[in-house]
Every structure is written in structure tokens, then in C-alpha cells.
Amino acid sequence: MIQTPNHFINLNEIPTQTIREIMGHGHRLKQQKFAPPQLFDGMSLAMIFDKKSTRTRLSFEVAMKQLGGHTIVMGIDEIQLGGAESVEDTAKVLSRFVDGVMIRIGNHELVEELATHSSIPVINALTNESHPCQIMADMMTIEEKFGSTSGVKIAWMGDYNNVAKTFIQAAPKFGFELVMAIPPSLQPDSSNLNGIKIVDDPYEAAEHANVIVTDTWVSMGQEGKGTQIFQPYQVTKKLMAAANPDAIFMHCMPIHRGEEVTDEVLSTPACVIYDEAENRLHAQKAILAWCFENSGVRVHYRNQNANPRDNTRQSKQP
């Protein structure tokens, strides 16, 4: 029987228990950093990019390779999908060649369409709507710093963008309180945001916060946009001081120093951006393992001591 693959596209579509299990696996894989289990022996991941990337590309490539698999990186301009070939044909052909595909592209609907026609897992590596892989690494980082995400207060500062929207999806899954300080003209209708609080004032959001998080004011594809309205939301030492004394500063990177955050904040011990970046690797491994395990391909868990279950399925049938 052909099963539906485990796509990783929208956090709100994945059961909370499953997300927690992926997270736990990520922590265990981090402990095995220097003796990585060969979970993906002989497996291939196609990586399609229509936007730039440092962390996402590194984390997927290193994750696959450390765990025994390999990758094929394709810029959108180099493949037929960027020309005349349909999403459906691309999905069906990829499904005959590789064991999974990750894609970074603005058009979120295209990623969902790719998944609809794929018999292999599709992973959202950032669209204009969301960045779920990033938020998994962020949650890992918060668990490391505070022991749990439950009950932690996260204050988001600035743009209402793809990363902000993914924090909103993550809040009920991870049990954190989320207050977002966003310029009034960009604020979403908060009546259907499941209790997420949206405010104008960054200092109101920062009060009692354990985490202050921001992102660029100009996401990829928005070049040329005005940034004046974001100036009051810049993360400064003064804003950090309005949060809890042990509050941490997070940012998915890349950072625009002196814009959304000052150099001064980045040089304090509160700044955990490099832990956050490293956790992309460990989270990615766990996401890939979950994606592959229901896809009719072999995930070699038997090589791993801390194995959630022995899942050695038969070879993929087209």
C-alpha cells in the first residue's frame, strides 16, 4: 500500500505530539553530533532554491551527508520547473529519482501543489508565508535555555512576515505566550489568531518577556521597501532591559546590524543567534528522519541506539 508521505510544509497541519517527537529526536541527534547515526544511508535529497540561503542550505546538506545520504542542489533557473515544465510533472519525476525534496521559493501554493503530486516528502525551506524549519530550531534553542517552551513569553518585534506567521502557528503547539509588537499599518486581524496578542508598543510586548525576537525589516523579494515605520521596533539595549533580566535575544539571521538590532545587543551574552543557527542542523536531521520514515524508503534506525522505533520499510515502489 502506498502511504501519503510526511510533508513538512505547515506547522499547524502537523499534530502537536508529532512535532514534540521530532523535537526530542533533534535533541538526541545533537548529543550524537560527533558520531552521527547513518539513518539516511544511500538516500538522496533534492534541494531547489529560488532564493538565497546560507543556513538552510548548509543545514540540509550537512544533515544529509553526516547521516549517510547525499544531496542534489538545483537553482530554479537551472531546472525545467523555472521554465515551461509543470509543477505536477516536476513532482512526479522527482519522485522517481530522489527520496525527498526541499524547496525555498516565495510562492507557498506552489510548494503545496508540489506536495500534492509527489510520492516523496516535500519540505518547505521558506516561502513568503512561512519558515517552519527555522521555528523548529528556535524551539530547540528555547528548550535548551529555559528547559521548556511551555509558559515562556516570546516578544516579537517588527515586521509581520513569514517568520512571524510561523511563530503564530507554533504558539499552540509549543505552549508559549506570544506578544507581537508590529507597526499598526501592518497588523493582522487578531480576532482569529488564537489568543496571540498584537500591540503597537514594543515596550509593552517586552515586559516580562523571556525571549525577544526579531527579523529583517526587508524580507527577500521585498527589496526597495521603506523601513521607517520599523524604527521604533529596533531591538536596543534599552528594549532588552524592559524584558526579564535573563531574557535572550533571537534572530533567524541574516542580520542587518544597526537596523532591526543594534551591535550592542549582539555583543551581549543574551544573544543566542549562533546556537540558534547551529540548531538548524540538528532540527533538520530530525525533520528529515520524520519525513522519510513514512515514505516507503529505508530509514536505518537500527544503526541508532536512541531509536524511536525500528522502521525498515521496503524499497520505494513507484
Q: What is the contact surface with ligand CP in residues (CB under 6 A)?
A: 53-56, 126, 134, 252-254
Q: Can you tell me which of 6, 66, 71, 216 binds ligand NVA, judged by CB under 6 A?
A: 216
Interaction of residue 149 with ligand NVA, rule CB under 6 A: no
Joined grid coordinates for residue 312:
525498515
Nearer to ligand NVA, 213 or 247 (CB): 213
Q: Can you tell me which of 50, 61, 215, 276 binds ligand NVA, judged by CB under 6 A?
A: 215
Interaction of residue 129 with ligand NVA, rule CB under 6 A: no
Nearer to ligand NVA, 157 or 163 (CB): 163
Of 4, 98, 122, 95, whose CA–CA distance to 318 is shortest? 95
What angle, rounded to 10 degrees, do the helices at 16-31 and 162-174 form?
100
- For the bound state, the minimum distance from the C-beta of residue 255 to ligand CP, rounded and expressed in Å, comes to 10
Stretch that binds ligand NVA, among 79-87, 160-168, 201-209, 300-308 (CB under 6 A): 160-168
Joined grid coordinates for residue 72:
542534489
Q: Can you tell me which of 10, 124, 149, 161 binds ligand NVA, judged by CB under 6 A?
A: 161
Interaction of residue 23 with ligand NVA, rule CB under 6 A: no
Region for residue 205 given its phi and psi (left: phi exceeds 0; alpha: psi -120 to 50; beta: otherwise) = alpha
Which partner, ligand CP, ligand NVA, none, binds residue 54 by CB below 5 to 8 Å per kind?
ligand CP
Are residues 304 and 16 in contact, defined by beta-carbon separation less than 8 angstroms? no
What's the distance, Cα to Cα, between the start and end of the chain in Å? 11
- For the bound state, the minimum distance from the C-beta of residue 220 to ligand CP, rounded and expressed in Å, comes to 8
How many CA atoms does the CB half-sphere of 43 hold within 13 Å?
Answer: 33
- For the bound state, the minimum distance from the C-beta of residue 305 to ligand CP, rounded and expressed in Å, comes to 31
Nearer to ligand NVA, 98 or 157 (CB): 157
Catalytic residue numbers? 104, 131, 134, 215, 252, 280
**Residues 178, 237, 281, 217: is their CA dihedral positive or negative?**
positive
Amino acid residing at 247: A
Burial of 229 (0-12, 13-18, 19+ CB in 10 A): middle
Stretch that binds ligand NVA, among 1-9, 75-83, 157-165, 310-318 (CB under 6 A): 157-165
What single-letter DSSP state applies at residue 253? Answer: S
Which partner, ligand CP, ligand NVA, none, binds residue 215 by CB below 5 to 8 Å per kind?
ligand NVA
Interaction of residue 252 with ligand NVA, rule CB under 6 A: yes
Interaction of residue 220 with ligand NVA, rule CB under 6 A: yes
Alpha-helical segments (H) within 98-131? 108-116
Burial of 315 (0-12, 13-18, 19+ CB in 10 A): exposed
Residues in the chain: 318
Interaction of residue 59 with ligand NVA, rule CB under 6 A: no
Joined grid coordinates for residue 157:
518585534
Amino acid residing at 3: Q
Q: Can you tell me which of 166, 214, 219, 234 binds ligand NVA, judged by CB under 6 A?
A: 219
Nearer to ligand NVA, 287 or 297 (CB): 287
**Site residues, ligand NVA (CB under 6 A):** 126, 161-163, 215-216, 219-220, 252
